[in-house]
A and B are shown apart, each in its own frame.
Chain A
Amino acid sequence: MTEDIVSNLQNWINKNTYHHSEFWDIKKLVEVKESKNLTISLCLPTLNEEKTIGKEIIIFKSELMERYPLLDEIAVIDSGSDDKTLEVAKNYGADTYLASDILPHLEPKRGKGENLWKAIYQLKGDIIVYVDADISNIHPRFVYGLVAPLIYREEVKYVKGFYDRPLAFSGNVRASGGGRVTEILVRPLFSLFFPDLTAMIQPLSGEYAVRREVLEQIAFPIGYGVETSHLIDVYHMYGLEAFAQTDLDKRVHENKPTQALGKMAFGILQTFIKRAKALGVLDKAEHKTILRQFQVRQTEYEQNLIEIIEEERPPMIEIEEYRNKFK
């Protein structure tokens, strides 16, 4: 049983994991996009991002609108920044929206998930690609690397980005990790309850491209749980085959302190338990003992299975010799 999962997952990984450099030919990408009559919208959710937003818009607009018309729309959806985020974004020609102005009759909620969700209503593309606005080493690959599998393969519905492969070197095998919350919380949870989803190398990354037909069918947590819930819901509806993931190389952003990660983990855990209960997996989870991590051998991504068995001893009082000795 376990071996089946392993070889299936490895097959899936080999077939659905890309490196952005495979899609360097943007001209070809645009041709295929146009032949399929697809439209693509870029959504940048923001909250006080004046330092990085201008650069992101300039690069995407120049490279993926003016030079190669891959994007049909660049939109900033803001949660109410007090800095110049919207002014800078507007100046460089992005469409700018305040989340609270979209579907204004709904009670406003504040969080990134709200902006992502309202983008489905506000933006017009058949594909929406979400990119966080705090990336300081922004590059067109953050968009074309994510939309390319959707353009080339109709069965793919949801493409996730991942980064920062080399965390540690030992010989020619590198451990490949997500962030701290991924490795400490999400990967162990998925290993226990949704082993298929452990094939996603960075389940929490904020960069992904999704078809509208999928986005309109799933619920959106407003806070930290949005990425986790997407994976579970899309997996539940369409299976693992609907996913692909792309290596986007290095992503530079500000590192969060451990306390902030605690908040994040708490939000994710709430979302996870809600989903797991609804799907009934909490009760019927077999006692799984395999933790699934990742390693990279040159350009091959492999799962690393670690058996972790938590055995127990009974209370000492139940041991006869003990009772005889201390009677």
Chain B
Amino acid sequence: MKDIKSLKKELPGIAEKLKKYREVLLANLVMVGEIPAPTFQESRRVEFILNRFDEAGLTDSSIDDAGNGIGVLAGSDSKSALLLNAHADTIFSEKTDHTMQVSSDSITGPGVADNAIGLAAMITLPYILEDLKIKLKNDLILLAGVKSLGRGNLEGMRFFLENNPFKINKAICIEGIQLGRLSYSSIGMLRGEITCRVPETYDWSRFGDSSAILTLNEVINKINDMRLPRRPRTSIVMGSIEGGSSFNTIARDATLRFEVRSESQEVVERAGETINDITLEVSSKTGDQVELDIFAKRIPGGIPYSHPLTRCARVVMESLDIEPRLAPSISELSALIDKKIPALTLGVTVGERTFKTNETIQIEPIYKGLAHLIGTILAIDGGYCE
């Protein structure tokens, strides 16, 4: 590893200089964040991002067949490319009021942390680099990835990785929060839905279990009774339930959304099989339809803690006085890991109430977050992470 000391000295200065881009960055944040972009319906937001790439003089920018927005900041020797990714979709529907509220020290609005500030950091970056007269050797590929969350299952990122013409050898995923986040590995995961339905021809003389909610309850109890190993660390997240329609009619359907997460692929697989058995068992006992739909999977992997890329990111954090928070990821990072591209996920700022409409981020920590991002890019570009 080349000596990173000189770069380290520059970084606190860069953080200070970034303050003058506050309005440009926050304007981008507000404008991008106020365009609704539920998963599968990101096109208006991506068009806006493309306009920004064009305005910044990124002549090769385009929208690919999956709908991803791609900007290319050409490097001086273009031998390899660094991919910067921020997912463009949010969990909020088109109907949610996407108005952002700006106070002196924070910004509030649905999706502001996940991932409007990540997108804003990415689309403001070419403007900042040009203004600071920072020229990169590598090509910098900016990807506003679509179809990332929930049922999107990283489709946009996977399509891009299969079909792009660039020589990508490293990647950084930008997430809005939290500052200091450092993800370099993916855990095993499977994500699915269990739907219980009372058949139309239900025998009303039967007593007791005549509700899809009760059937689902049975499933949930059985999942809860599953024995999970303490090592490798494993958990089942019961994310949400939905069912029925009123006070006095029997619920005809009920749905559970869940995720199994584990450090071990084998444990994930086994848990998946057990859950499948549970649904079959409950279905045959109750006579209701119980369907299991598993639509997303992640395979554990990634680079080690001691990998030069991880180490670079930590050195950069240290020089900026950022406390690293190590955490595995199941987002776009896993798609990169599947492709064996060394990659990290970094956070931009501090925030709270994620996934609520009054999601809030703090403005002051953004400069450090951006300096961290730029520092890591410079470290990779300078060959410190090989």
Q: Which residues of A contact B (CB under 8 A)?
A: 50-52, 54-55, 57-59, 61-63, 66-67, 84, 87-88, 91-93, 136-137, 139, 252
Contact = CB atoms under 8 A, between A and B. Distances in A.
B24 A88 contact: no
A196 B261 CA distance: 71
Given A58-B27, A87-B104, 12 more contacts: A50-B103, A52-B101, A55-B101, A58-B26, A58-B102, A61-B27, A62-B27, A66-B23, A67-B55, A88-B103, A137-B34, A252-B99
Contacts of A51: 101
B80 to A, nearest CB: 31
B104 A137 contact: no
B31 interface: yes
B24 A67 contact: yes
Nearest to B51: A24
Contacts, number: 48
6 contacts: A55-B102, A58-B26, A62-B23, A62-B28, A63-B27, A66-B24
B23 A88 contact: no
A54 B103 contact: yes
- Which residue, of B23, B24, B34, B100, has the highest number of chain A Cβ atoms within 10 A? B23
B40 to A, nearest CB: 24
Nearest to B127: A67
Contacts of A62: 23-24, 26-28
A93 B27 CA distance: 14
B345 to A, nearest CB: 27
A59 B23 CA distance: 7
B99 A84 contact: no
A92 B99 CA distance: 19
A88 B34 contact: no
A66 B131 CA distance: 12
Nearest to A55: B102
Nearest to A90: B104
Contacts of A58: 23, 26-27, 30, 102
A92 B30 contact: no
A77 to B, nearest CB: 19
Interface string B79-107: 00000000000000000000111111000
A211 B304 CA distance: 65
A137 B101 CA distance: 11
Given A66-B23, A93-B23, A84 B103 contact: yes
Contacts of B102: 54-55, 58, 88, 92
Contacts of B27: 58-59, 61-63
Contacts of A88: 102-104
Given A67-B24, A136-B99, A91 B104 contact: yes
- Which residue, of B22, B27, B28, B34, has the highest number of chain A Cβ atoms within 10 A? B27
**Interface residues of B, dominant DSSP:** helix
A52 B34 CA distance: 14
A61 B27 CA distance: 9
Nearest to B56: A67
Nearest to A24: B51
B120 to A, nearest CB: 11
A92 B23 contact: yes
Contacts of A137: 34, 99
Given A66-B23, A67-B24, A92-B23, A59 B30 contact: yes
B238 to A, nearest CB: 37
B166 to A, nearest CB: 28
User: 4 nearest interchain CB pairs?
Assistant: A54-B102, A62-B27, A62-B23, A55-B102
Contacts of A92: 22-23, 102
B23 A61 contact: yes
A54 B23 contact: no
Nearest to B34: A137
B116 to A, nearest CB: 13
Nearest to A92: B23
B217 to A, nearest CB: 43
Contacts of B100: 55
B3 to A, nearest CB: 37
Interface in B9-37: 22-24, 26-28, 30-31, 34
Contacts of A252: 99
A87 B99 CA distance: 21
Nearest to A27: B55
B58 to A, nearest CB: 15
Contact of B104 (A54, A66, A136): A54
A187 B7 CA distance: 67
A87 B27 CA distance: 19
A67 B28 CA distance: 12
A93 B26 CA distance: 13
Contacts of A57: 23
Nearest to B104: A91
A181 to B, nearest CB: 25
A25 to B, nearest CB: 11
B263 to A, nearest CB: 43
A324 B278 CA distance: 98
Nearest to B99: A136
Nearest to B102: A54
Contacts of A67: 24, 55
Contacts of B55: 67
B97 to A, nearest CB: 9
Contacts of B22: 92
Nearest to A62: B27
Contacts of A139: 31
A62 B27 CA distance: 6
A58 B100 CA distance: 12
A51 B106 CA distance: 12
A46 to B, nearest CB: 14
B364 to A, nearest CB: 12
B47 to A, nearest CB: 14
Contacts of A52: 101
A205 B23 CA distance: 27
A136 B108 CA distance: 13
A206 B244 CA distance: 48
